[in-house]
């Protein structure tokens, strides 16, 4: 009788142990994600374009807000990639600006991809006597593009990568003798054409500092003007319309806030086909970041308000994906 009782107790504890370790295993091995999440950071202008002389408290608040946003993103366990869309530096792109920008970027613990904005290379190292930006010489622009590569340890300023069946293309303005702020060189355009031609069946996202022409309402005097759209406009247009696998053009530059009526509107569709996903500046009073969720059959876009700590559900967007793109 005693042996039967001991055997029953052992069996009971074995069963309890099985349940315990099974539950532990379920906790330890979470279900695999069905998506890949990309977070977009645009126009950081770190520390801030607002100078201490103008408003010391306001400047510090903006810096604190940016660091809080970085902490938020570091805490998100499902982030696969963070893309910096250019204008990471404060204003001039001099050595001091780059050192501070690198400090900011290095605070992020997630995998990163970076592209160039106009403030990284277009201007002289000092403001004019009247406090204005002055366009740099071609030689200095070229040197600053090299500074970008050296600072952020990137081999090239345009490149691509795959995430599952998706193709992600990263472009940068690189014309050093042109008249536009965000212009792609003929060499880069040729590379882009070849890359797209080799990936006709891959749903494609393109990341570039400036938006496509006509994808925002004319809410100020700069929007949709030559210096505030991707250039060269005509050549890009001809290339984009020949490649229906391009689903998203992800841009910044205009500092368009999430509260702007055309931030999420039908006007964002370039030629009615490519969604230009506009991204607000990190240098505003409110910081919003867009997250792109890549599923096998759709792209889901969400906008997060880092001041409130909540997603703006009214801005949720879904794009269907045909993996057999033609």
Q: How confident is the model at residue 269 (pLDDT cuts 50, 70, 90)?
A: very high
For the chain, the residue count is 326
Question: The domain 34-320: what is its CATH number?
Answer: 3.60.21.10
User: If you average pLDDT over every residue of the chain, what do you get?
Assistant: 91
Tokens for 135, please give them. Answer: 């366009």
Give the C-alpha separation, 129 to 144, whole Å.
22
What average pLDDT does range 58-79 have in this prediction? 98
For the whole model, what pTM was predicted? 0.89
In the predicted structure, residue 134 carries a pLDDT above the cut 60:
yes
Chain segment 3-25, per-residue pLDDT in tens: 444 444 444 444 444 333 333 33
Going by C-alpha positions, the residue among 146, 135, 143 that lies closest to residue 181 is 135
Q: H or E element: which one contains 46?
A: none
The domains of the chain are located at 1-30, 34-320
Q: What is the pLDDT of residue 5?
A: 43
What average pLDDT does range 196-210 have in this prediction? 98
Chain segment 84-116, per-residue pLDDT in tens: 999 999 999 999 999 999 999 999 999 999 999
Contacts of 217 (CB under 8 A, 6+ apart): 223, 260, 261, 262, 265, 267
């Amino acid at each position: 009788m005693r042996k039967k009782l001991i055997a029953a107790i052992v069996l009971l504890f074995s069963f309890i142990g099985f349940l315990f370790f099974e539950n532990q295993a379920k906790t330890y091995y979470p279900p695999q994600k069905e998506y890949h999440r990309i977070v977009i950071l645009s126009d950081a202008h770190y520390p801030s374009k607002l100078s201490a002389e103008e408003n010391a408290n306001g400047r510090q608040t903006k810096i604190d807000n940016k660091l809080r946003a970085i902490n938020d993103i570091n805490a998100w366990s499902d982030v696969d990639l963070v893309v910096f869309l250019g204008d990471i530096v404060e204003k001039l792109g001099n050595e001091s600006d780059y050192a501070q920008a690198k400090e900011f970027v290095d605070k992020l613990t997630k995998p990163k991809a970076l592209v160039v904005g106009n403030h990284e290379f277009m201007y002289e190292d000092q403001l004019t006597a009247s406090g204005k930006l002055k366009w740099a010489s071609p030689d200095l622009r070229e040197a600053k593009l090299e500074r970008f590569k050296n600072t952020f340890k990137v081999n090239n300023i345009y490149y691509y990568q795959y995430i599952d069946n998706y193709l992600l293309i990263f472009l940068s303005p690189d014309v050093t003798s042109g008249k536009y702020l965000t212009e792609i060189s003929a060499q880069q355009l040729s590379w882009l054409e070849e890359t797209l031609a080799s990936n006709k069946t891959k749903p494609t996202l393109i990341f570039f500092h400036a938006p496509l022409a006509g994808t925002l309402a004319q809410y100020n005097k700069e929007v949709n003007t030559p210096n505030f759209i991707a250039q060269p406009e005509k050549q890009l247009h001809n290339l984009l319309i020949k490649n229906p696998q391009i689903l998203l053009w992800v841009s910044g530059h205009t500092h368009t806030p999430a509260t702007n009526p055309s931030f999420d509107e039908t006007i964002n569709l370039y030629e009615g086909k490519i969604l230009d996903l506009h991204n607000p500046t990190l240098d505003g009073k409110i910081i919003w970041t867009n997250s792109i969720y890549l599923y096998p059959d759709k792209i889901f876009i969400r906008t997060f308000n880092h001041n409130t700590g909540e997603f703006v559900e009214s801005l949720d967007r879904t794009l269907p994906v045909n993996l057999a793109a033609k």
